[in-house]
Structure 1
Amino acid sequence: MEGHSDSLLLRMLVIITDKPVEKKVVKILDDFRVKVRYQFRGKGTASSEFLEICGLSESGRIITAGLVLKGSVHGVFEALEEKLKIRERGRGIAFTIPVNGLQSYLLKQLEEDQAENVCGDTERKEEEMKEELKEEISYVMIFAACNQGYSGEVMEAARSAGATGGTILKSRRQGLEEPVKFIEVSIQEEQEVISIVVPKSIKKEVIKEISEKCGCRTPAGGIILSLPVDEIIGLS
């Protein structure tokens, strides 16, 4: 089931770096107890000019995405600056995206686990946090990460709630064994990540269907969240 409004305090942290610093990124996230995270490897298709702007080489890159509380972001960025010099050309980039939906059970676990790293930002009133999403959003992107072999069931659940299609990515669960105990389910190392863009009006229904049929307490071990989509083209 979708999380309560406090999920506005949640961010998806995305770090894009070259492969040689992979272990340093992992260490930083371990230090900040960012346990729910995924890692993707890619060669990239962007032009060399774009890569230069982003501060990335043409070698293989690591994309690491994890869930953090808003109050932890500043500390993570400081660690990236101190240990990776990420602001310097050629070191990579990092950014966050507001998360506007998450299973209540998982959100509660994240809040409890990262509490020691959260600064005063979490004490802001709920009304102030809602200002960040005050612009009208027509579509959302739902991400569902599940154990390998369950992507078909995820899509079936999403379609039953009105979704028309999605994109499946292969990934590897990255981190220590602690995350398995953390959410009390069996999570395979090999993961499938399904991204689905849907109208905001059916977001809750889609998340609910996926969570009930393929959520974190099912054999699929699914973790579901949604992100606001600012602009979109090509979806009828």
Structure 2
Amino acid sequence: MATTELNQAQTAAKGLKTDLKSLKNGLKEKAGNLKQAKAKRSGEKERDNGGLKLLIGIVSSRDAEKLTELCNSSCAALSYEADAKGTASSSVLDYLGLGETEKKLVLSLLPAGAEEATLRAIRDGMSLHLVGKGICFTVPLSGASTIVANALQRSAAEAEKNGGKKVKTNREYSLIVTAMQKGFTEEAMEAARQAGAAGGTVLTAATLGDKKAEQLIGVTLQKETDLLLILAKNEGKDSITEAILKKVGLKTDGGGVVFTLPVDNIVGIGGVRETQNTDDEAGENADE
């Protein structure tokens, strides 16, 4: 009798062990499936949000509306504008449209698939190579509101059907952004010029909710702030940022913070990026 009960107990234990192993494998498989599903959703979201570019335009007040119209002629673009002022003082800087005049800073979210068509429309429709016309350039985005991204990319699909395509990125330039206490932009720009910068654009801004950052950094940031935007070639970026920080950095009265953004493509700075499509077309004509 005891032997029979022992055998039954051993059999039950083996069955329980088998059930536990099956349960463990089932949970492991379910966890793997959930992980794959999460990765897939994350990838889809990243693709949705990563298919946008930010076009930054610094133009005269009268040309801001025209710029947004040209953006919307190629695709659906979500645009914002802000008042700005140029800092240039030489004829070369005036040629670039960054002189000491009132400007508009235009920020346009647009689908990457419509970038080439948009840049071409701006190049042909605004003649940014002329004196005082300004400059436009695109920077990459790592994310955006999903609703906005999906809506704008639907317009990109139409642009691609009509021959549009993503333009190659040639990151020879960077955008240097300096946030500093109001009244120090001239000092910052002078330091940048001595380090090789051409000119810049100034925006009036304000700091928001910086108490925690101030505690970590160990400084008090002023409420009223000036933003200085400088477009510079990558090889000169470090020397310019170092010069600005030395002159108006956090350890100075200017209390400046500097960061940089990569620039993909440019229209209106001596045709640096405008020659790409022209060269391609010339090659096609030569083959014919």
Instruction: Give 1 or 2 for the bigger CA radius of gyration.
Output: 2
Q: TM-score range by the shorter chain?
A: 0.3 to 0.5
When normalised by structure 1's length, the TM-score is 0.47
Structure with the larger RCO, 1 or 2 (CA within 8 Å, 6+ apart): 1
When normalised by structure 2's length, the TM-score is 0.40
